[in-house]
Structures are given as structure tokens and as C-alpha cells.
């Protein structure tokens, strides 16, 4: 089909919860062409625009469907700083990084063992963290709580982190 394709940089769109729009990586994309089926959209971003370099592997491409932002990510190229996704309509698109980082504070409640890692651990929004819980000799693990996690054997894994929490 023939038609014009337009790209207009968006300056201050609102991001969904737990994400921030990467500066310079939000566009309104439109066309006068008639089309059907899926479209692959890729946006470039700058490492310098990231709030945290550790967020890069978790960048997402969002498409605004008229009511909400939806994650359409299919690939992230951290070498060439490009995130791609598939959609069937054109509208606002934005490369976003997780908000945060958040802090998990990990410690044992009594002198009966250890947790590793311990202390304050920085983590990007939406990620999980595994901890190894080791009881001292003649002790056993009674319980491990916090951050919405679960214990399997001696490994405690948090739920996806969206705020500071304590294990």
C-alpha cells in the first residue's frame, strides 16, 4: 500500500506503574496507508538516558492502545540500543525502563544461621531475588518471610519487586 508514514516525538507522556519512559524514546507513529496484519516497530534509545544501567536488560517497548499502555516487546538489542515489538495498529510507542531500583533488606531474625546475600540489595522493578538461607549446626529453618516470596529447600525467592521490602 502507498501512503505517508509520520513520526512525531512525544515530550511528556505518562508511563504505566513501575516504569519510566526513556528520554527521547517516545513517538506518535501514524500512516495514511491502508494496512492489515502485524507491524514490527523498533525504537532506539540512549544508554545515557537510562536511570540505571542495570535496567537495560529489562527495557520494554510499550504501545498505547487508546486506553492503556501495553507491553509489546519481542526483542531487546542491548549492543545496538534497540527494542522491538509487534502490534497491529499505530499510535504512541515508548521505550521504557523499570522504575526503581528498589532495596531489599535481608537479615536473619535470630542467631541461628545466615542469609546470602545479606544487607541492602538493589534490584530493578519487576525482578525477583533469590536468597540462600543456611541454618547453623543443630538448627533448622523455621520460616522465611517478606517481599511476597516462597521457600523451597534452603532457597527463598521473592515475588517480583515493586517497592522496598524486607526479608
Query: Is the model's pLDDT at 162 over the cut of 90?
Result: no
pLDDT at 88 over 70: yes
Q: Which set of grid coordinates corresponds to residue 60? A: 520494554
Question: How far is it, in rounded angstroms, from Cα 2 to Cα 90?
Answer: 16
Q: Find where cell 510499550 sits.
A: 62
What mean pLDDT comes out for the span 150-158?
Answer: 94
3-class DSSP assignment, residue 163: coil
Whole-angstrom Cα distance, residue 109 to residue 131?
15
pLDDT tens-digit readout, 1-52: 688 989 999 987 888 887 889 999 999 999 999 989 999 999 999 999 887 6
Amino acid at each position: 500500500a502507498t501512503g505517508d508514514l509520520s513520526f512525531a516525538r512525544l515530550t511528556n507522556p505518562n508511563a504505566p506503574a513501575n516504569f519510566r519512559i526513556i528520554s527521547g524514546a517516545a513517538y506518535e507513529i501514524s500512516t495514511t496507508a491502508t494496512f492489515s496484519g502485524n507491524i514490527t516497530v523498533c525504537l532506539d534509545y540512549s544508554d545515557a538516558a537510562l536511570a540505571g544501567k542495570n535496567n537495560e536488560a529489562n527495557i520494554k517497548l510499550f504501545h498505547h492502545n487508546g486506553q492503556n499502555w501495553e507491553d509489546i516487546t519481542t526483542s531487546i538489542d542491548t549492543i545496538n540500543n534497540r527494542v522491538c515489538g509487534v502490534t497491529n495498529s499505530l499510535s504512541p510507542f515508548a521505550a521504557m525502563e523499570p522504575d526503581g531500583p528498589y532495596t531489599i533488606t535481608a537479615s536473619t531474625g535470630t542467631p541461628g544461621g545466615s542469609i546470602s546475600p545479606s544487607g541492602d540489595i538493589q534490584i530493578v522493578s519487576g525482578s525477583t531475588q533469590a536468597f540462600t538461607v543456611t541454618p547453623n549446626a543443630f538448627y533448622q529453618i523455621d520460616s522465611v518471610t517478606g517481599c511476597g516470596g516462597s521457600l523451597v529447600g534452603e532457597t527463598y525467592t521473592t515475588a517480583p519487586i515493586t517497592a522496598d521490602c524486607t526479608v
